Amino acid sequence: MTSTHIRNDGTPLDLAWVKATKINKSAVTRHIKTLAGRRTAKKNAQIAWQLKAISLIDLTTLDGHDTDDRVRRLCAKAKQPLRKDILAGLGMDDLELTVGAVCVYHNRVKAAVAALAGTDIPVAVVSTGFPTGQVPVAPQLKAINQVVEHGAREIDIVISREYVHTGNWQAIYDQIKAYRDACGPAHLKTILETGELGSLANVYKASIVAMMAGSDFIKTSTGKTKVNATLPVGYVMCRAIRDYERRTDFQVGFKPAGGIRTSKDALSWMSLLKQELGDEWLEPELFRFGASSLLGDLEKQLSHHATGRYASGRYMPSS
């Protein structure tokens, strides 16, 4: 993250704001349906947005069978996500293009930090009992302290969904605030797991509570549940970020994760952010994709732009 960005300090919990939440799902759905017809990036805009999308990716591996070598391969890809000849073919040779971050489990942090040494690419770590959050808080605080010491610069936490369903916003606020304190200089990215929250109103409420508790980013999902990032959910989270900025002047980042696999998906999300929050949210300081296979599609699309030929993944270096 660049040093110019002002971090969200959070605010006291404002339960009146939580209670005043009104989200009309049918209207949200209709609005989002028309967005793709109202905005599209084509020609040079399309290429530019695809290049930009690469810089917004949290290149992720979150598997039980991850090893340090696997993580090193991923980091190599993170450092050079697009073949140099493709960049040259687009006339963008001098573009220093990397992904936004590399995202791994706790046990892989050291390997990732070592592999990315000498770059600005941060290591993000999923934490706090990811993906379910069904763990006690205190040990997680120690674990966060430890990975931050090991060089993790972003901590992706999950909230306890039980508190959403029991309406215990104070508990969620306290929990996130504790994690934020444990992060120290590292940035806190709070996963709401929106597919498990039951309603768009709960998505909005969880979003504003997470921001009041000091989250630097709010993130849709773990990618480990049936329903991941959807545009209507993302739109509601954007509304929360917009409202929070209006009240506090803090700009909070947004990370959709899970299910974003194609260039077209990515550009729809960028259109959404541009429309609802503005161009500032098209930078890695405020926007990330949580994705593992998106990069492959972007490479192929950009290769097509550079050569005029439809591309094969066989010609793209794998991670």
Partner 1 sequence: MTLKTAFETLAYVPAMESDATAQAWLDAHDRKFGLFINGEMVGQGNETLAIHCPADNQHLADVASATAADVDNAYQAARAAFTGWSQLSDHKRAQYLYAIARSVQKHDRLFAVLEALDNGKSIREARDIDVPLVARHFYHHAGWAQLMGQTMAGYQPLGVVGQVIPWNFPLLMLAWKIAPALAMGNTVVIKPAPATPLTALLFAEICQSVGLPKGVVNILPGGDEAGKAITAHAGFDKIAFTGSTEVGKIIRRATAGRDIKLSLELGGKSPFIVFASADQDAAIEGLVDAIWFNQGEVCCAGSRLLVQESIAPEFFRKLKARMDKLRLGHPLDKTIDMGAVVDQAQYKQIEAWVQLGISGGADCYQANCVVPTEGAYYPPTLLTNVDQASPVVTEEIFGPVLVGMTFRMKSEAIALANNTRYGLAASIWSENINQALEVATKIRAGAVWINSTNQFDAAAGFGGYYESGFGREGGKEGLYEYVRSAAETRLDLSTLPERDANWGAHTPAFPIPANGATTGVDRTSKMYIGGKQARPDGHYSYAVLDPKNALVGYASDGNRKDIRNAVAAAHAAKGWADRTPHNRAQILYYIAENLAIRQAEFVDRLRAQTGATRKAAEQEVELSISRLFSYAAWADKFGGTVQETPLYGLVVGLTEPVGVIGITCPADAPLLGFISLVAPAIARGNTVIAIPSQSAPLSATDLYQILETSDLPAGVINIVTGNQDHLTKTLVEHDDVDAMWYFGDALGSREVEYRSADNMKRTWVSNGKQIDWLNSTAAEGALFLRAATQVKNIWTPMGD
Interface with partner 1 (CB under 8 A):
22-31, 34, 37-45, 47-49, 51-52, 90-92, 95, 199-201, 239, 270, 274-275, 279, 282
Is the Cβ of residue 25 or residue 84 nearer to partner 1 in the bound state?
25
Q: Which residues pair with 257 in a beta bridge?
A: 290
How far apart are CB 128 and partner 1 at their closest, in Å? 29
Catalytic site residue from 52, 77, 189, 219 = 219
Q: Which two tokens stand for residue 214?
A: 């000091």
**Distance from C-alpha of 297 to C-alpha of 318, rounded to nearest angstrom:** 12
Q: Which amino acid is at 196?
A: E
Cα 156 to Cα 89, 253, 262, 288: the distances in Å are 36, 12, 23, 12
**Distance from C-alpha of 87 to C-alpha of 99, rounded to nearest angstrom:** 15
Helix (H, G, I), strand (E, B) or coil at 87: helix
Is the Cβ of residue 125 or residue 277 nearer to partner 1 in the bound state?
277
Q: Which amino acid is at 62?
A: L
156 labelled catalytic: yes
**Distance from C-alpha of 178 to C-alpha of 22, rounded to nearest angstrom:** 28
Burial class of residue 130, CB neighbours in 10 A (0-12, 13-18, 19+): buried
Catalytic site residue from 58, 156, 265, 297 = 156
How far apart are CB 5 and partner 1 at their closest, in Å? 18
Q: Which residues pair with 157 in a beta bridge?
A: 190
Is the Cβ of residue 113 or residue 282 nearer to partner 1 in the bound state?
282
52 labelled catalytic: no
> CB–CB of 254/284 below 8 Å?
no
Is the Cβ of residue 167 or residue 184 nearer to partner 1 in the bound state?
167
Catalytic site residue from 52, 77, 189, 255 = 255
Candidates 294, 308, 300, 318; CA nearest to 53 is 294
How far apart are CB 165 and partner 1 at their closest, in Å? 15
Q: Which two tokens stand for residue 54?
A: 């690469």
How far apart are CB 44 and partner 1 at their closest, in Å? 4
Q: Which two tokens stand for residue 75?
A: 């980091």
Is the Cβ of residue 5 or residue 106 nearer to partner 1 in the bound state?
5
How far apart are CB 238 and partner 1 at their closest, in Å? 10
Is the Cβ of residue 37 or residue 64 nearer to partner 1 in the bound state?
37
How far apart are CB 90 and partner 1 at their closest, in Å? 6
226 labelled catalytic: no
Q: Which two tokens stand for residue 90?
A: 């687009």
Q: Hey, which residues are catalytic here?
A: 156, 219, 255
